[in-house]
Amino acid sequence: MKKIFLILSIFIIINHNNAYANLESFSCENLITKNKAFIVYGKNFAKEEMSPNIWLFFQKIKLDKDNLNISSIDDEKTIREWQIDLQTGKATLIPMFDPSSNWLCLNTEKQLMVLNDLYKSGALSGYEFEKAKKKLLNN
Protein backbone atom coordinates (compact mmCIF):
# COMPACT_ATOMS: atom_id res chain seq x y z
CA MET A 1 0.00 0.00 0.00
CA LYS A 2 2.85 2.41 0.83
CA LYS A 3 4.49 1.70 -2.55
CA ILE A 4 1.27 2.48 -4.41
CA PHE A 5 0.85 5.72 -2.49
CA LEU A 6 4.48 6.69 -3.20
CA ILE A 7 4.17 5.94 -6.92
CA LEU A 8 0.87 7.81 -7.14
CA SER A 9 2.37 10.82 -5.33
CA ILE A 10 5.34 10.96 -7.69
CA PHE A 11 3.04 10.68 -10.71
CA ILE A 12 0.88 13.57 -9.48
CA ILE A 13 3.90 15.78 -8.77
CA ILE A 14 5.43 15.13 -12.20
CA ASN A 15 2.17 15.80 -14.04
CA HIS A 16 1.38 18.91 -11.98
CA ASN A 17 4.72 20.49 -12.88
CA ASN A 18 4.29 19.70 -16.57
CA ALA A 19 0.82 21.22 -16.69
CA TYR A 20 2.22 24.73 -16.36
CA ALA A 21 5.52 24.24 -18.20
CA ASN A 22 4.49 25.96 -21.43
CA LEU A 23 2.78 29.03 -19.98
CA GLU A 24 3.81 32.58 -20.86
CA SER A 25 2.98 35.73 -18.94
CA PHE A 26 2.63 39.45 -19.51
CA SER A 27 2.63 42.44 -17.21
CA CYS A 28 0.18 44.93 -18.69
CA GLU A 29 -0.22 48.62 -17.98
CA ASN A 30 -2.85 51.05 -19.24
CA LEU A 31 -1.02 53.87 -21.00
CA ILE A 32 -3.33 56.58 -19.66
CA THR A 33 -4.65 55.48 -16.25
CA LYS A 34 -1.55 53.43 -15.26
CA ASN A 35 -3.84 50.57 -14.14
CA LYS A 36 -2.11 47.20 -14.17
CA ALA A 37 -3.09 43.65 -15.06
CA PHE A 38 -1.20 40.38 -15.26
CA ILE A 39 -1.98 37.80 -17.96
CA VAL A 40 -0.93 34.15 -17.97
CA TYR A 41 -1.59 32.11 -21.09
CA GLY A 42 -0.79 28.92 -22.92
CA LYS A 43 -2.01 27.23 -26.05
CA ASN A 44 -5.39 26.28 -24.51
CA PHE A 45 -5.45 28.35 -21.32
CA ALA A 46 -5.58 32.04 -20.36
CA LYS A 47 -6.35 34.03 -17.22
CA GLU A 48 -5.98 37.62 -16.07
CA GLU A 49 -5.21 38.87 -12.59
CA MET A 50 -7.30 42.03 -12.50
CA SER A 51 -6.35 42.92 -8.93
CA PRO A 52 -4.45 40.94 -6.30
CA ASN A 53 -5.84 37.39 -6.13
CA ILE A 54 -8.85 38.15 -8.38
CA TRP A 55 -8.54 36.10 -11.57
CA LEU A 56 -10.71 36.11 -14.68
CA PHE A 57 -10.53 33.04 -16.91
CA PHE A 58 -10.93 33.22 -20.67
CA GLN A 59 -12.92 30.67 -22.66
CA LYS A 60 -11.80 31.66 -26.18
CA ILE A 61 -8.09 31.65 -26.91
CA LYS A 62 -6.72 32.38 -30.38
CA LEU A 63 -2.94 32.27 -30.47
CA ASP A 64 -0.98 32.65 -33.67
CA LYS A 65 2.57 33.68 -34.46
CA ASP A 66 2.22 37.40 -33.70
CA ASN A 67 -1.12 37.85 -31.94
CA LEU A 68 -3.00 36.65 -28.90
CA ASN A 69 -6.75 37.21 -28.75
CA ILE A 70 -8.53 36.05 -25.59
CA SER A 71 -12.18 36.48 -24.66
CA SER A 72 -14.20 35.82 -21.54
CA ILE A 73 -17.79 34.90 -22.27
CA ASP A 74 -20.95 34.79 -20.18
CA ASP A 75 -24.39 33.89 -21.56
CA GLU A 76 -22.84 33.77 -25.05
CA LYS A 77 -21.78 37.44 -24.80
CA THR A 78 -18.20 38.65 -24.68
CA ILE A 79 -17.66 40.38 -21.35
CA ARG A 80 -13.93 41.09 -21.70
CA GLU A 81 -11.55 40.72 -24.63
CA TRP A 82 -7.82 41.30 -25.02
CA GLN A 83 -6.08 41.73 -28.38
CA ILE A 84 -2.31 41.61 -27.87
CA ASP A 85 0.45 41.97 -30.45
CA LEU A 86 3.08 39.55 -29.17
CA GLN A 87 5.94 41.31 -30.99
CA THR A 88 5.38 44.91 -29.86
CA GLY A 89 3.33 44.40 -26.70
CA LYS A 90 0.66 46.83 -27.89
CA ALA A 91 -2.70 45.66 -26.62
CA THR A 92 -6.34 46.64 -26.69
CA LEU A 93 -8.75 45.78 -23.91
CA ILE A 94 -12.42 45.69 -24.88
CA PRO A 95 -14.65 45.43 -21.78
CA MET A 96 -18.39 44.86 -22.08
CA PHE A 97 -19.68 48.19 -20.73
CA ASP A 98 -16.70 50.55 -20.97
CA PRO A 99 -14.90 51.96 -24.00
CA SER A 100 -11.88 50.06 -25.28
CA SER A 101 -8.49 51.17 -24.03
CA ASN A 102 -4.87 50.88 -25.11
CA TRP A 103 -2.40 48.97 -23.00
CA LEU A 104 1.20 47.86 -23.14
CA CYS A 105 1.73 44.18 -22.29
CA LEU A 106 5.33 43.07 -21.97
CA ASN A 107 6.84 39.72 -21.22
CA THR A 108 9.13 39.99 -18.17
CA GLU A 109 11.77 37.75 -19.73
CA LYS A 110 11.93 39.91 -22.87
CA GLN A 111 12.13 43.08 -20.78
CA LEU A 112 15.08 41.65 -18.84
CA MET A 113 16.86 40.83 -22.12
CA VAL A 114 16.32 44.41 -23.37
CA LEU A 115 17.67 45.81 -20.09
CA ASN A 116 20.68 43.51 -20.29
CA ASP A 117 21.38 44.61 -23.88
CA LEU A 118 21.15 48.28 -22.86
CA TYR A 119 23.58 47.64 -20.00
CA LYS A 120 26.05 45.77 -22.23
CA SER A 121 25.92 48.55 -24.85
CA GLY A 122 26.69 51.17 -22.21
CA ALA A 123 23.31 52.91 -22.47
CA LEU A 124 22.62 52.06 -18.81
CA SER A 125 24.98 52.22 -15.86
CA GLY A 126 25.22 49.30 -13.46
CA TYR A 127 23.14 51.22 -10.92
CA GLU A 128 20.44 52.09 -13.49
CA PHE A 129 20.37 48.47 -14.68
CA GLU A 130 19.95 47.07 -11.16
CA LYS A 131 17.30 49.65 -10.26
CA ALA A 132 15.26 48.92 -13.44
CA LYS A 133 15.67 45.15 -12.96
CA LYS A 134 14.48 45.35 -9.36
CA LYS A 135 11.46 47.45 -10.37
CA LEU A 136 10.60 44.99 -13.16
CA LEU A 137 10.85 41.91 -10.94
CA ASN A 138 8.80 43.50 -8.14
CA ASN A 139 5.83 44.35 -10.41
E-strand stretches of 10-128 = 24-30, 36-42, 45-51, 54-57, 60-63, 67-74, 77-85, 90-95, 101-106
Whole-number pLDDT of residue 20:
47
pLDDT in tens, 89-116: 899 999 999 999 999 998 877 778 888 8
- pLDDT at residue 11 greater than cutoff 90: no
pLDDT in tens, 22-40: 688 888 889 899 898 999 8
